[in-house]
Amino acid sequence: MFDSLSERLSGTFDRLRGKGRLTESDVDEALREVRLALLEADVNLVVVKSLLARVKERAVGTEVTKSLTPGQQVIKIVHEELIVTLGEQEAGLVRPAAPPLVILMVGLQGSGKTTTAAKLAAHLKRKNRRPLLVAADLQRPAAIDQLESLGRRIDVPVAVDRKAKAPKLVKAAVKDARKEGQNVVIVDTAGRLQVDEGLMKELAAIRKVADPDEILLVVDAMTGQEAVNVATGFLERVPLTGLVMTKLDGDARGGAAISAREVTGCPIKFVGLGERLDELDVFYPDRMASRILGMGDVLTLIEKAEEAFDEEEADRAAAKLRDASFDLEDFLDQFQQLKKMGPLQQLVGMLPGAGSALRDVQVDERQLGRVEAIIRSMTSDERHNPKIISGSRRRRIASGSGTRPQDVNALLKQFSEAQKMMKALAGGASPIPGLAVPGGRRRKKR
């Protein structure tokens, strides 16, 4: 969502870095570019003015003029002030005096509220919490079926009573959660096409019986400035404790995510970065600011890797790499774990400098899928020893994977080259002629 904004800002900052000294006119010109970039990204005008006023006050002072690297100092100031705009620090869920933690999910129809409720349940379950989902959206019968289906997929119970009124259902669900030892209750409330009196009356009745610890508004970031207007409308009627921005993986301009915190004063607690049920992340203002400015997000990348990769399996794979016995079976195992981290294009965006150096790199997920299909069409013996794959076997593998024999050939050739490099490194030889490998074993002359 922030690709276009990141590209514009990176270009502006590259020009700043190239200057030895900065005059006030240099700063003004750069901030003018930043202003245009933010407005084009649909950031609220009041937010843009406030952010740039704070940046300029610091950028034309001694903080920059006496710096050895004034261009980088301005970038640092923009980064710090963008973090302030986004909320300064992570706003986690509250800790209730006694369990369960009761969370009301509110929002308009189409914002992704029901799916987000399930994503939040899955997120908390990974944190060793015991969530209960409550299907209190009785206005839309399909919402109940949807939540039940999602609950089965993540193995989380769903409280359902199609004949009861929503407040009565919620009251009974909270009571049952206390009995069953479920320490989080997530209530999927009804939505409307717009903020109206009927919606607010139902929410008020549910609030009264549930006494929620958190009221999270689910907002569709794809709707731009309208997302901020919706948040403001709800906030006038409901004491929101946080926002959840969905569809940040979309191709909209992303200004709503930057504007929402400052316009509403309500912290963004979670962001949805994809359709999968594990693609809901805690919102860290500093990490988001770094990604917007093309600085990457290494901490989130590390956290995703720690969640996805089994430590013992990783040690075993490393050992096989060292003794050059890594085969296609091992490659498939590692590939599966990598996929758990999320779309590769998203992971590339978390690498520092990816905004400029890798801007034009497009990861073709379909090509990766074809590679996986080819390996899965092999027998266990073929994966462990690709040398036995003859012409007839290649045709069989291609037929089974929906690819061509030349695609199988290409994969086997690439893997063979990789194995040669692994053996060279394991033996202390350099894969590049004439280049020594530090710490490698010397080869005896014949």
Q: What is the pLDDT of residue 109?
A: 84
Q: Can you tell me the distance from the alpha carbon of 341 to that of 95, in angstroms, rounded to the nearest whole number? A: 28
For 157, residues 6+ apart whose C-beta sits below 8 A from its C-beta are: 132, 133, 151, 182
Query: Which residue(s) pair with 185 in the sheet?
Result: 102, 132
List CB contacts of 63: < 8 A, sequence separation 6 or more. Answer: 73, 77
274: helix, strand or coil: coil
* pLDDT given at position 244: 93
Residue 177: predicted pLDDT? 94
pLDDT tens sequence across 202-258: 888 999 999 999 999 998 888 777 888 888 888 888 899 999 998 887 666 677 878
Helix (H) or strand (E) holding 105: strand 101-106
Q: In whole angstroms, what is the distance from residue 226 CA to residue 85 CA?
A: 19
pLDDT score for 366: 73
Q: Which residue has the higher pLDDT, 47 or 429?
A: 47
d(CA 361, CA 351): 13
Asked if residue 114 has pLDDT above 90, the reply is: yes
Token pair listed for 49 = 């003015």
* Cα→Cα distances 25→16, 21, 68, 78, Å: 12, 11, 19, 17
> Which pLDDT value is given to residue 431?
44
Q: Does 134 score more than 90 pLDDT?
A: yes
pLDDT for residue 349? 60
pLDDT one-digit tens code per residue, 269-289: 999 888 889 889 899 888 888
pLDDT at 396 over 90: yes
Report which secondary-structure segment, H or E, holds 268.
strand 268-272
Distance between CA atoms of residues 69 and 228, nearest Å: 37
**Cα separation, 38 vs 328, whole angstroms:** 47
Residues 6+ apart with CB under 8 A from 327: 320, 383, 384, 385, 386
Q: What is the mean pLDDT of the chain?
A: 80
What's the pLDDT tens digit per position in 291-334? 777 665 555 656 666 665 566 666 666 666 666 677 888 777 77
269 vs 440, more confident:
269
415-433 as b/e, with b when 16 or more CB fall inside 10 Å?
beeebeebebbbeebeeee
Q: For the domain made up of 307-426, give the CATH fold.
A: 434 Repressor (Amino-terminal Domain) (1.10.260)
Contact (CB, 8 A) for 347 and 309 = no
pLDDT of residue 343: 63
Closest by Cα among 227, 278, 340 to 115: 278
Query: Roughly what angle, to the nearest 10 degrees, separates helices 70-86 and 24-40?
Result: 40
pLDDT tens readout for residues 53-100: 998 888 876 666 566 577 777 888 888 898 999 888 888 899 998 889
pLDDT at position 40: 85
**Residue given tokens 């409901």 in the structure block:** 238
CATH 3.40.50.300-classified regions of the chain: 101-294
Residues of the chain with CATH 1.20.120.140: 3-86
Looking at CATH, the fold of the domain delimited by 101-294 is given as: Rossmann fold (3.40.50)
pLDDT reported for residue 24: 79
Identify the CATH number of the domain defined by range 3-86.
1.20.120.140
List Cα–Cα distances, 51 to 66, 80, 166, 169, 259, in angstroms.
23, 10, 42, 45, 10
Taking CA atoms, 136 is separated from 113, 131, 158, 182, in Å, by 12, 15, 10, 18
Residues of the chain with CATH 1.10.260.30: 307-426
The mean pLDDT of 110-137, rounded to a whole number, is 93
**What's this model's pTM, rounded to 2 decimal places?**
0.67
pLDDT of residue 301: 59
Q: Return d(Cα 408, Cα 372) in angstroms, integer.
A: 11
Q: Is the dihedral of CA 24, 29, 33, 38 positive or negative?
A: positive
Contact 135, 158 (CB under 8 A): yes
What pLDDT score does 23 carry?
75
User: Which range, of 15-29, 101-115, 152-166, 192-206, averages the lowest pLDDT?
Assistant: 15-29
374-393 tens-digit pLDDT:
999 999 899 888 889 999 99
% of the chain at pLDDT higher than 90: 29
Region 153-158: mean pLDDT is 96
pLDDT at position 63 is: 62
Give yes or no for residue 49 having a pLDDT over 50. yes
Among the residue ranges 113-117, 165-169, 359-363, 423-427, the one predicted with the least confidence is 359-363
**DSSP state letter for 323:** T
